[in-house]
Amino acid sequence: MRRVRGDIVVLGAGGKIGPTLAVMAARASREAGVQRRVYAVSRFTRRSAREYLEASGVEVVEADLLEESEWADLPEAPNVLYLAGKKFGTKGQEPLTWVTNAYTPALLAKRYRSSRIVFVSTAQVYDFVHVSTGGATEEGPINPIGEYAMSRLGGERVFQHFASKLGVQAIILRLCYAYELRYGVPLDVALKVWRGEPVSLRVAYVNVIWQGDFSNIALRALERCANSPEVVNVSGPETVSIEWMAREFGRMLGREPVLQGPREDTALLVNTAKCCALFGYPRVPLRKGMEWVAHWVEIGGPTYNAPTHYDVRTGEF
């Protein structure tokens, strides 16, 4: 954070990842002895997120990114991280999904044309791949399934167009399943094991990454921004078996998992070799993160009550 100069704006900071990322930016700046302002921009439908950010020294800006007129009033900053997007509840709200995911990236590029932009997208733009392939690579084919995934690919393409036209320095991160104690694939599986509910194997393999590790990578990616934005898959390096995860949680929680087939041999998987070469391996190993999640479930810790629907194969969320 000493090398990154200037203030930081996190757009879409009221979701699950935004508060962690913005607070990490503020704390890392203080620890590095760098004076800067970190802004968190969102509608903030969760008051607790706003309170957490303000208590951590982050400046909160309430704005609706769907309203073009509000972009002009957003704070100036040479460093921007874009997290906005709509996934859950998209079925039946397809027009809003497309506007959120494919229209606002144009406003982003125009408003912050002089800034470095870390554009966070999703691995959902890829098709399911066979587990033996090692996951989809950044250079490989893309085939988004469902309107959410199509709209996110549309957002990437719109952003790439305007970034190229306006000379914006940027990088695109395709995230595959961040998790922490209150949400994520490991929590979904752990809760099902704890409650004795069936664990679906329709999507039998996943990649996951601890949310703090993703936030670390996203902030460091500011230094990788360039006029021709590169694309980087971001997740953990393991191809994780859902059956193995369920059995491990069963051992940790003293429960026998209920597994529900059939097991498919294709899944939404990404190859993270490029990410690991650029930013190193995640600091939180998968098993350690799972131990934290198991303990959280056992003590009845609060959650967002927001299942990932990792086992959906239709692209409908």
In this predicted model, what pLDDT tens digit does every residue of 176-235 receive, in sequence order? 999 999 999 999 999 999 999 999 999 999 999 999 999 999 999 999 999 999 999 999
Q: Which residues pair with 241 in a beta bridge?
A: 205
Query: What pLDDT score was predicted for residue 215?
Result: 98
Q: Tell me the average pLDDT across 22-42.
A: 97
Query: What pLDDT score was predicted for residue 89?
Result: 66
Q: Looking at the predicted structure, is the pLDDT value of residue 86 above 90?
A: no
Q: Looking at the predicted structure, is the pLDDT value of residue 26 above 70?
A: yes
Q: What does the pLDDT look like over 244-294, one tens digit per residue?
A: 999 999 999 999 999 998 899 999 999 999 999 999 999 999 999 999 999
Q: Looking at the predicted structure, is the pLDDT value of residue 317 above 80?
A: no
Q: How far apart are CA 96 and CA 299, in angstroms?
A: 38
Q: Looking at the predicted structure, is the pLDDT value of residue 101 above 80?
A: yes
Q: Looking at the predicted structure, is the pLDDT value of residue 15 above 80?
A: yes
Higher pLDDT, 87 or 189: 189
Give me the percent of the chain exceeding a pLDDT of 90.
92
Among the residue ranges 87-101, 145-159, 238-252, 298-312, the one predicted with the least confidence is 87-101
Backbone angles phi, psi at 215, to 5 degrees: -60, -40
Query: What pLDDT score was predicted for residue 199?
Result: 98
Tokens matching residue 61:
């800006």
Q: What does the pLDDT look like over 142-176, one tens digit per residue?
A: 999 999 999 999 999 999 999 999 999 999 999 99
Q: Looking at the predicted structure, is the pLDDT value of residue 114 above 90?
A: yes
Cis peptide before 262, with omega less than 30 degrees from 0? yes
Enumerate domains of the chain plus CATH numbers. 8-178+209-234 (3.40.50.720), 180-207+236-269+283-298 (3.90.25.10)
DSSP track, the chain:
--SS-S-EEEETTTSSSHHHHHHHHHHHHHHTT----EEEEE--S-HHHHHHHHHTTPEEEE--TT-GGGGGGSPP-SEEEE-----TT-TT-HHHHHIIIIIHHHHHHHHTTTSEEEEEEEGGGSPPEEGGG--B-TTS-----HHHHHHHHHHHHHHHHHHHHHT-EEEEEEE--EE-SSSSHHHHHHHHHHHT-EEE-SS-EE--EEHHHHHHHHHHGGGG-BSS--EEEES-S--EEHHHHHHHHHHHHT---EEE-PPPSEE--B--HHHHHHH-S-SS-HHHHHHHHHHHHHTT---------TT--S---
Query: What pLDDT score was predicted for residue 316?
Result: 82
Q: Residue written as tokens 């203030």? A: 7
Q: What does the pLDDT look like over 252-264, one tens digit per residue?
A: 999 999 999 889 9
Q: Tell me the average pLDDT across 119-148.
A: 96
What mean pLDDT value characterizes the chain? 96
pLDDT band (50, 70, 90) for residue 24: very high
Q: Tell me the average pLDDT across 47-70.
A: 96
